[in-house]
Structure 1
Amino acid sequence: MKEKYFCKNCKGLRNHKELFKKELRGGDENDFFMWIENYCVIECLGCENISFLKVYGDTEMVEHDEEGNADYFFDKMIFPFYLEKANELEHQHYIPENIRTIYTETIMAFKADLSILTAGGLRAIIEALCNHLKIKDNNLSVRIDLLNKKGHLTLSESKRLHSIRFMGNDALHEIVKPKKEHLYLLLEIVNHLLANLFINDKIIKGKVETLVDSYDEFFRLIRAKITKEMVTSKLTLLQILDKSRKLLSKENIIEYENKLIEEISDGKHDFIKFEIHEGVNLYEIIKVPSQYFSIKSL
């Protein structure tokens, strides 16, 4: 193929080879109006990504130069649609469902070059984020400021969200079509925000050490630290945690240990027993806890 086409993997114009082509032609009875439509399956010669190319042209699609010479042009579309200068988020399954739904539809609108709907979608993502974080007010401007005041965002991040609010309002209320390069900038802001709030901590967990700031995480850590060599031993909590004690603050250790003792006393855990010996909390390891996880019913 002589012409280069956009490759969504390579993020640029690339040489392609044609794997399959179907050509259709038509026109009116007198051939006054004629059209041609080509459907092609193409493969990037760089990364071997497969795309579908549709090329359409007709006798009305013509421009003339200063000398009156006709120059016919064609409409060309690559499927699936793509973002030319940005990436959609990976690991979207970590984003809460209501926010993820709006994000997905916004990306689809952007890929389809629906600029007004894209701007409205970006604004709706901020509304959905406020709903998820229980930031309540009838005015989105106030809600964005509360995201900062309640510690969810930095001041700089909340200021950036106002830019999304401005463009969304203009698009939806004034029917002002935003510039595509501005939409790319705002999408980058939204991607950064959602990644920081919902994704980054999840993808690094288990790969690098992170602070433990909930009882559920603390209990999973305790289960993970118990080995078969500990069975029948009586250990303090810090001995069980070993080097992982650095992942908890002093206040959290006290709070979580009290809850652990309460659950053991209530018979909720069969792999560990608790006793106090000479004023020291000791934990007798009965067995290695079984690994567990849960899956919602389909």
Structure 2
Amino acid sequence: MTFSVVARDPVTGQLGIGVSSCILAVGRAVPAAVPGVGVVAVQARSRRGLGAALLAGLADGTTPADLVRRAAHAAEDVDRQIAVLDASGAVAADTGPGSFPVSGHLTGEGFSVQGNMLASADVLPAMSQAFSATGGDLADGLLAALTAGQDAGGDLRGRQSAALLVVSGSPATDEDDGVRMDLRVDDSGDPVAQLRMLRNLQRAYDERDYETLAVFAPEGARDLYAALAASRRGDRVAARAALEAVRSRPGWSTWLASMSGDSRLSGVSQLLD
């Protein structure tokens, strides 16, 4: 009923999972991760508490292979499909005999792809190849795998939801919860494509790509990003016009005044002084 990929970035140490399915809100059911500990995919007809138990086992120092072996011998987990990845990149997966066909898993160096009730046997090899061929950012590799899986047929029943979760390879602290990305598409006719759009929007926020945000941010904030983009490229006339549009909205002048010390807005605000 689901196809997913778990992986570790060997450069940054980040851990992540991408998943898609023809169920509502798959991001609630399949992926789970703890920064500095590991990430798990729990799918098919696995019991809902299995993910937490697997992460607790990783936190206690049990290897992914041992955790998967234990689950394979547990009578209550006969219908399971799981993948377990620890912070070092060690990975193990298992597809129980009760999983819906076409089903299976493929593991590689620091990653695993798995799925059940797939449209064809081509889905998992396509995902594995796409992830291995994608360099750079972990989230991009996870999305490439999901896209390849969907293009190869994906879930036999169709499309509904997808999710992308990336956490730090180091434990969370009081200053940093370790979550690098947590995006979900709960109900869509093309959830993987929608997830890719969200990932691109997240990148624009992270990289302060004001030109992109001036087009794709929520409507109420677009003029602000247009002002920031124009200011950055030295277009004072466009920056002033966009900022005037922001200030014309009820309550926004007060907000702009309260943000006068923000380095991103100080230069723009001076255009109206």
Q: Given the two structures, how large is their TM-score scaled by the length of structure 2?
A: 0.26
Q: Relative contact order, CA 8 A, sep 6+: which one is greater? A: 2
Q: Given the two structures, how large is their TM-score scaled by the length of structure 1?
A: 0.24
Query: Over alpha carbons, which structure has the higher Rg?
Result: 1
